[in-house]
Structure 1
Amino acid sequence: MPSTPVWRRAIAFATSLASLLALLIVPVATPLAPAVAQPAAPAAPVAPERPDTCPGLVSALPPRAVPAAFRPVALAPDQVRLTYVGHSTFLIESPKLVRVATDYNDYVKPPVLPDIATMNRAHSSHFTLAPDPGIRFVLHGWRDDGKPAGHDLSYQDVHVRSVATNIRDWSGGGTDRHGNSIFIVEAGTLCIAHLGHLHHTLTPQQIAEIGRVDVVLVPVDGSYTLDLDGMVEVLQALKAPLMIPMHYFSRYTLDRFLERVKADYDVEISDTPSVVVSKTSLPAKPKFLVLPGR
């Protein structure tokens, strides 16, 4: 068979090469062909400036004073949160976050509005005649007719009752009968007794009316309220496993009381003004827990 001329082989090779190049070029040229228009991809959103969440700027921001004790953190059904606000004022919070402020006054107030405010009238730093109208229940520890206050209030998961005591009549030097009340707050599974402005030891009847208590909030100044020996006698009669000092005017006053009791009781100094207490967390041996206040 005669061989194919060179020029025919060259033409065939060129044709094959052109076909191959067309196959390679078509995919690249395809987007240039008419097609249905597609919307442009949206631009990435620009985040607003949030210097308060920028880790690099945290140290430049002013500190936020949000005490952990006042965050609405749920409590277990058997727990109570106690916060020492100062002087004789505590904030007691129940598992349903019912708030009780003791010896509510115009000078030392909790940072949140209480549902219940208890008061005593020995001094103006223990009561106010113009409480915040948003307080649901205002319980005076005295009556104007001289009879015992006799409170017995239930609200949600809190029960508050009072036991009357006498105070000094500062104007005449005598006795103001039933001028003070020991308030007993029952919340969770605990009974908490706030002794108020106690001026005398307790009678057997008063001890019986108070009943078993788990926590005692005790004035320890030793002069304006009951003297140190008398206060120790009261605490020995109440037999509470946990006692929290209040109503002291200096570190010296507090230390003097703690020195008096440390031979018979354990003493713990807390760094925070709040403590969560339950029946199971009560100390096996009676103890004083000192919470910092103002």
Structure 2
Amino acid sequence: MFRAVAFALMSGVFFAGSHLGVAQAQDQPRPASQCQAIAETVPKASFVSFKPQQMAQARKIAEDVRITFIGHSTYSIESPEGVLIATDYSGYYRPQRLPDIVTMNKAHSTHYTRSPDAGIKHVLPGWSDTPGQKADHHVVVGDTYTRNVSTDIRAYGGFEENGNSIFIFEIAGLCIGHLGHLHHELTDSHYTQIGRLDVLMVPTDGGLTMGADSMSRVVQRLRSSLILPMHRSGPPLERFLTMFDGKFDIVYAKEPVITVSLRNLPRKPQILIPQGM
């Protein structure tokens, strides 16, 4: 309930740029991240005060986010206003309609395309083609805010700095993270940049990205309520699931579309296996 109320109170700041209907302009201030606004310092927290009428406002906000596993590392995420996002988009796995936003990573060709459909308005690569730079996205479209946190990828026997991105989607008070093709454990700086993640999309291949034990440490450190597996290849999915030793409930989705809101997040952390995996 606190998160729902906090979302209502922050929405005037966060969506100040949403009237643009397009990516946040370069000369506009970056939107406030609700996922990083839980505390000013640790352990001292800064909470929001509210009044009964603000509680009523929180209840009126459209809050259902629809998530569908499309294939490999591609999930579609649809906001309450109908903004459609596709993750690690290669063009091979496609949502039923053209996305408004696609994110990409370049570890393998199954995670990106150099020739996306011209009708996609916002194409967000998780890397920069300019040497020495990193991708830095802060994109507001309708009721969504998409940003990224850069990580490294293995390349030519070593690591390519900032070659991958963890994308974070802030929608209807939810903080949704997609780890992309993560190749190394995260630093304290990464966790600070990421902030809170309610929903986390995690590669479960057990080696092409990271080993299951390393990936499980990342998942447990992020403390997300809902874990959605992806990038299933190599070892059986069960090997990944056993790494959590009863700390997470394991549930198999009954419907192809997963409807998530602040109000229906599981109280005990849950790994939800989507249909089609």
> TM class, shorter-chain normalised?
0.7 to 0.9
C-alpha distance in 2 between matches for 1:278 and 1:262:
27
Q: Which amino acid aligns with 1:154?
A: V
Offset of residue 259 of structure 1: 2.3
Offset of residue 271 of structure 1: 3.1
TM-score w.r.t. the length of structure 1 is 0.71
Which sits farther off after the overlay, 144-153 or 84-93? 144-153
- Give the number of aligned pairs: 217
C-alpha distance in 2 between matches for 1:249 and 1:293:
13
Q: Is the 8 A contact 1:228 1:257 kept in 2?
A: yes
Deviations 1:249-293 (A, max 9, x none): 27x521221122242211001133311000010011111000022
1:1-294 residue pairs with structure 2 within 5 A?
Answer: 77-145=62-130, 146-169=132-155, 172-249=156-233, 253-293=236-276
Which sits farther off after the overlay, 79-88 or 270-279? 270-279
Q: Is the 8 A contact 1:193 1:213 kept in 2?
A: yes
Offset of residue 213 of structure 1: 1.0
> What percent identity do the matched residue pairs reach?
47
* Uncovered stretches (5+) of structure 1, i.e. residues with no partner: 1-75
C-alpha distance in 1 between matches for 2:83 and 2:200:
19
Q: Is the 8 A contact 2:248 2:270 kept in 1?
A: yes
C-alpha distance in 2 between matches for 1:247 and 1:262:
21
C-alpha distance in 2 between matches for 1:287 and 1:105:
28
Q: Cα RMSD over matched residues?
A: 1.5
Corresponding residue of 1:47? none
C-alpha distance in 2 between matches for 1:188 and 1:99:
14
TM-score w.r.t. the length of structure 2 is 0.76
Q: Is the 8 A contact 2:204 2:233 kept in 1?
A: no
The residue matched to 2:243 in structure 1 has which SS?
Answer: helix
Q: Which has the higher contact order (CA 8 A, sep 6+)?
A: 2
Pair member with larger Rg: 1
Q: Is the 8 A contact 2:225 2:267 kept in 1?
A: yes
Q: Which amino acid aligns with 1:159?
A: Y
The residue matched to 1:256 in structure 2 has which SS?
Answer: helix
C-alpha distance in 2 between matches for 1:141 and 1:206:
15
C-alpha distance in 2 between matches for 1:147 and 1:253:
37
